[in-house]
């Protein structure tokens, strides 16, 4: 029989509206904002970040539903019915939970339109991220139900909603959106790592576990508060929340262990034919948009330099020592299956420092030292390219000192020019200390 009542509540309560509202808002947020698409994990994390707004909405909807008996003035009729309160409200709570979860999953489904065409793999780590979000939606509606039935005022839903947004904005404002603080991990929201692209990492098991324990405990507190008929019953509602804190806090990961690299995402995918161009698996779809500029850059390097590299590899975690036969690239921005740069920008970026990565051990203290270092690397790139980039490059912005330094370099005999650029490349590969611009344009040349 309760199944029939549940069906009535699913149709007649706020539950279907919550689902529709969350999906509609989710679609609007997904498709009206420019975001990075193409990975299931980033879709899941994006949706979790939108909980900042959807969670308060679900909370308010729960409160609205929770005040139904008072709003419809049916308390007089209901207070003389024999069915215990907890059994009476259980279908409402279940219906609201179903509505909220359906909305959350529906929103994820709506986002597949921007993921499915580009995703080449599915990390199982995506599932818990979505699941924790779905649980948090149940937490929201049940807490709302409890608040709405205790304070059945028209003002309760909007006030609760605004308060929930304010608290979350406050926590983020104090700790910063990119950082994941302990208290931030207690929020339903998740924003992805501050120092890495979301496509390469997944939340660790400890992150998911601590969050789901805490959120489920608060959900239980909300349900007990909502279903309890007596003061004593409501007092026991504190128990799940306390247990939740006691279990979740020790489970919380340290700030370095909130995320871990996703093995699926960082494996290497290469072109079948040489010269090899490789990307992490997360960027597999974008390989074709890297291949041509990468090969052009390789051709320019081998045309002008001895011992030129023969492959381009974009890699998430890079070895400390560079392989002279490979141009290593830090992860670049990819969206919707393409590198979000023009081909000439990619070439410019690959030629920077004559196909080397910047060294981070040079101890460049002053801005002047740093500028000279950047200029030297760009002069090498422009020399290999044959000219300065026509338009301001989207990657590695052009230093103003590059042009005069390039003229100085070109004033030297051709063999000297080539020797000096090769020397710069050698210095960069080994990261030996010394002024790089001196190598290219200094009176003495390479030692």
Partner 1 sequence: MMRWLTLYLRSRSVPAALATVITATAALWWLGTTIDDPRIHDTLALLAVLTGVAATAPGLAGADPDLDRTAAIAWPPRRATHLILAGAIITSLVTLTHTGPVLRNVTGLVGLIALGVATIGASRAVLLPVIWTVFALRFAPPLGAPPTGPGYQVLLTWMVQPGHTTPATVTAVLLGLAGTITYSVHGPGNRW
Partner 2 sequence: MVRAVGAVETAPTTHPWVIQAEGLRVRAGRRMAVDGLDLTMGTGVHGVLGPNGAGKTTLVRSLATVLRPAEGTLTLLGQTVTGHLDLRELRRQIGYLPQEFGFYRRFTVREFVEYLAWLKEMPRRQMPGAVQRAIDRVGLTDRADDRMKTLSGGMVRRAGIAQAIVNDPRILLLDEPTAGLDPGQRLDFRALLRDLGTDTCVLVCTHLVEDVVAACTDVLLMDEGRLVFRGVPADLEAAGGERNGGDSPAERGYSAILRQHRDSAR
Per DSSP, helices labelled H in 305-351 are 343-351
User: Can residue 45 be called a binding residue for partner 1 (CB under 8 A)?
Assistant: no
Nearer to partner 2, 8 or 127 (CB): 8
Q: How far is the CB of 99 from partner 1 (least distance, A)?
A: 16
What is d(CA 398, CA 107) in angstroms, rounded to the nearest whole number? 42
Cβ count within 10 A of residue 82? 4
User: Can residue 73 be called a binding residue for partner 1 (CB under 8 A)?
Assistant: no
> Which stretch, 152-160, 368-376, 390-398, 416-424, contacts partner 1 (CB under 8 A)?
152-160
Nearer to partner 2, 145 or 384 (CB): 145
The helix/strand/coil state of 282 is helix
Q: Which does 33 bind (CB under 5 to 8 A by kind): partner 1, partner 2, none?
A: partner 1
User: Can residue 124 be called a binding residue for partner 1 (CB under 8 A)?
Assistant: no
- CA distances, 43 to each of 365, 397, 403, 412 (Å): 40, 30, 43, 53
User: Can residue 243 be called a binding residue for partner 1 (CB under 8 A)?
Assistant: no
User: Can residue 185 be called a binding residue for partner 1 (CB under 8 A)?
Assistant: no
User: Can residue 172 be called a binding residue for partner 1 (CB under 8 A)?
Assistant: yes
Q: Residue 357 corresponds to which tokens in the numbers above?
A: 């990565």
The only residue of 41, 44, 50, 398 in contact with partner 1, by rule CB under 8 A: 50
Q: Which does 28 bind (CB under 5 to 8 A by kind): partner 2, partner 1, none?
A: partner 1
Q: How far is the CB of 141 from partner 1 (least distance, A)?
A: 16
Binding-site size for partner 1 (CB under 8 A) equals 32
What is d(CA 204, CA 89) in angstroms, rounded to the nearest whole number? 36
Cβ count within 10 A of residue 390? 7
User: Can residue 27 be called a binding residue for partner 1 (CB under 8 A)?
Assistant: no
The only residue of 157, 293, 331, 353 in contact with partner 1, by rule CB under 8 A: 157
Cα three-residue angle 292-295-297, rounded to 5 degrees: 110
Q: Which does 224 bind (CB under 5 to 8 A by kind): partner 2, partner 1, none?
A: none
User: Can residue 1 be called a binding residue for partner 1 (CB under 8 A)?
Assistant: no
Q: Which does 88 bind (CB under 5 to 8 A by kind): partner 2, partner 1, none?
A: partner 2
Nearer to partner 1, 31 or 121 (CB): 31
Residue 314 forms beta bridges with which residues?
Answer: 329
Distance in Å from the first CA to the final CA of the chain: 90
Q: How far is the CB of 197 from partner 1 (least distance, A)?
A: 17
Q: Which residue has tokens 């929020």? A: 187
Give phi and psi for 270, each to the nearest 5: -125, 165
371: Cβ contacts below 8 Å, ≥ 6 apart:
399, 401
User: Can residue 246 be called a binding residue for partner 1 (CB under 8 A)?
Assistant: no
Residue 269 forms beta bridges with which residues?
Answer: 279
Which residues are at the interface with partner 2 (CB under 8 A)?
Answer: 1-2, 4-5, 8, 12, 68, 72-84, 88
What is d(CA 114, CA 216) in angstroms, rounded to the nearest whole number? 30
Nearest to 47 by CA among 121, 99, 115, 96: 115
User: Can residue 158 be called a binding residue for partner 1 (CB under 8 A)?
Assistant: yes
Cβ count within 10 A of residue 243? 14
Q: Which does 76 bind (CB under 5 to 8 A by kind): partner 1, partner 2, none?
A: partner 2
Nearer to partner 1, 169 or 370 (CB): 169
Nearer to partner 1, 22 or 301 (CB): 22
Q: Which does 72 bind (CB under 5 to 8 A by kind): partner 1, partner 2, none?
A: partner 2
What is d(CA 385, CA 387) in angstroms, rounded to the nearest whole number? 6
Nearer to partner 1, 76 or 273 (CB): 76
The full length of the chain comes to: 447
Q: Which does 29 bind (CB under 5 to 8 A by kind): partner 2, partner 1, none?
A: partner 1
Per DSSP, helices labelled H in 188-237 are 205-227, 231-236
User: Can residue 80 be called a binding residue for partner 1 (CB under 8 A)?
Assistant: no
Nearer to partner 2, 68 or 206 (CB): 68
* Residue-wise burial string across 125-142, b where 16 or more C-beta atoms lie within 10 A, e elsewhere: bbebbbbbbbbbbbbbbb
Question: With contact defined as beta carbons under 8 Å apart, do 122 and 41 qualify?
Answer: no
Nearer to partner 1, 170 or 267 (CB): 170
Which residues of this chain interact with partner 1, rule CB under 8 A? 21, 25, 28-29, 32-33, 49-50, 52-54, 56-57, 60, 71, 154-155, 157-159, 161-163, 165-166, 169-170, 172-174, 176-177
């Amino acid at each position: 029989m309760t199944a029939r009542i549940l069906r009535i509540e699913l149709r007649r309560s706020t539950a279907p509206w919550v689902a529709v509202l969350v999906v509609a808002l989710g679609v609007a947020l997904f498709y009206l904002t420019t975001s990075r698409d193409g990975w299931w994990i980033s879709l899941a994390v994006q949706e979790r970040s939108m909980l900042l707004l959807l969670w308060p909405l679900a909370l308010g909807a729960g409160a609205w539903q929770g005040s139904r008996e008072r709003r419809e003035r049916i308390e007089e009729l209901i207070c003389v019915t024999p069915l215990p309160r907890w059994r009476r409200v259980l279908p409402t709570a279940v219906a609201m939970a179903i509505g909220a979860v359906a909305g959350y999953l529906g929103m994820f489904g709506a986002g597949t339109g921007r993921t499915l065409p580009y995703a080449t793999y599915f990390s199982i780590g995506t599932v818990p991220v979505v699941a924790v979000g779905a649980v948090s939606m149940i937490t929201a509606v049940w807490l709302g139900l409890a608040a709405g039935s205790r304070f059945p005022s028209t003002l309760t839903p909007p006030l609760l909603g605004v308060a929930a947004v304010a608290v979350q904005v406050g926590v983020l404002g104090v700790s910063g959106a990119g950082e994941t603080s302990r208290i931030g991990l207690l929020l339903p929201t998740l924003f992805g790592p501050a120092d890495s692209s979301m496509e390469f990492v997944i939340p660790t098991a400890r992150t998911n576990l601590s969050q789901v324990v805490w959120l489920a405990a608060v959900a239980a507190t909300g349900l007990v508060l909502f279903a309890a008929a007596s003061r004593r019953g409501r007092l026991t509602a504190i128990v799940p929340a306390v247990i939740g804190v006691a279990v979740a806090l020790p489970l919380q990961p340290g700030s370095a262990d909130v995320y871990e690299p996703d093995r699926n995402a960082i494996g290497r995918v290469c072109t079948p034919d040489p010269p090899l161009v490789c990307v992490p698996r997360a960027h597999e779809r974008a390989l074709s948009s890297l291949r041509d500029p990468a090969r052009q850059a390789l051709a320019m390097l081998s045309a002008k330099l001895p011992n030129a590299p023969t492959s381009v590899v974009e890699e998430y975690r890079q070895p400390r020592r560079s392989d002279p036969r490979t141009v290593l690239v830090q992860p670049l921005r990819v969206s919707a299956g393409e590198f979000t740069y023009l081909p000439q920008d990619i070439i410019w970026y690959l030629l920077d420092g004559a196909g080397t990565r910047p060294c981070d051990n040079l101890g460049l203290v002053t801005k002047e030292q740093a500028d000279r270092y950047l200029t030297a690397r760009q002069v090498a790139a422009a020399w290999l390219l044959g000219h300065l980039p026509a338009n301001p490059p989207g990657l590695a912005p052009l230093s103003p000192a590059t042009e005069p330094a390039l003229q100085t370099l070109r004033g030297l005999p051709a063999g000297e020019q080539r020797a000096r650029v090769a020397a710069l490349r050698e210095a960069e590969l080994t990261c030996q200390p010394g002024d790089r611009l001196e190598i290219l344009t200094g009176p003495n040349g390479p030692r």
